Structure 1
């Protein structure tokens, strides 16, 4: 029987619960479902081999899955795994794929290939007011292949759970203003189709609406032990130096942001040019 390969993108639940879902066509090939030998092939931080072998039961709840795994600590939600059944060895192999260069996505270091869309959906922004707003944009909004997300601002009040009336509106405004100030989101004018599906730039003959556009901050990540390397875990409250961030298609930095960027360049706070389609976010304190 030949080797069967499939790909799976790990979710936060997969990692926390120590499971890996399997497609039907692969799960039904396993000859000993009560005790499957599972080999996790992995390089810690993309460098040192850190593979481990488990004996796992195969079960079917919503879908087939093997359980009893312990995923390595540098595996984060969105990480891609190659699943292969190697019949000659009677083993199920789960292999992560090392990136040529590690990447930091909104403060989380990825050393292995990942799906930006799942990273956006699965990131936990916390339970603060601004975290609840960001959670709605990233989980309920339209997510693009690069991990950016779009959500109609008018729908936030009902979706965020910050309360009704004047107090709820006040809390929501403050949360959105904080996200705008921190550079997590940008306010743009998009459109909604008859089913409420958002688009940006706006589509002809659709109702225009104000949107919040989220774009992940993706930058090179250092290896642990290098300057700036911390092992890649999710970060909470910290200071963020000024940085250049992607804007929605067709949008440009305001004159104020261009001026702030020029000043940061003059004082050697940043050395990255402000190219078309990007804006500058000044140094600020970020709550996660």
Structure 2
């Protein structure tokens, strides 16, 4: 099962047991959906706060560094490159920004007042020169649309906001899902989803069938990876010279491998179905095995209260202006 262990995402961490493992799966599903929905129409500060919150949860849960490095190292690097590329890319704004005042300093003289009727106008020689009042050239506002402009690199406010939004959204969506899968067993996921879907039974929705199908599919994924690994090893051990085979024969060989993989998977599925029939699993409601008892504890209620506080802050301060 080396292929399954080398996957960068979606692994369940059995040891050590953290406080995230003890949370009810329904509470963790609610937090996951919040992390997926909260960045929508949120300002950049709120998006950064969500990413920092995910990192803080990981640190407080004392997840080993080897797991974080193996699974999240490439994600942090990807988000960093996305941030840099989005920041230096053109922002797509059609108008060019211009300063409010010209570059040269210009002073304007006030026109002489119009003389009143009956008042003798003084001659030019007797008039006293009036001091001209220059207009200040400095912009009283410190707002600048272009933040950095050196050669081909141009960073504007819009490109910076876009870079923050894209990179933080990518990190939040992938990392929150991975953290959920890292601390939640497949059986707990299906039990939590089935519990949350119970109100749909009033509409005659097959909740139990969907939960059973999801459980079997999650259990079938390691078998698929094992079959793929065995076929890849069988091809490697034969030391095939791909250059002599050519493109056509290489495609034929890989089609034969894919056909063999499909046959093995169908055989595994038939064996699982036969084993379920022998043990009396004739319908989803009969002989059901409950792996986990879903009960809300004090830590689960604390997580729900924290979730309410999070959404309260989101609705008050998190909107994009």
TM-score w.r.t. length of structure 2: 0.19
More strand by share: 1
More helix by share: 2
Could you say which structure has the larger radius of gyration? 2
TM-score w.r.t. length of structure 1: 0.20
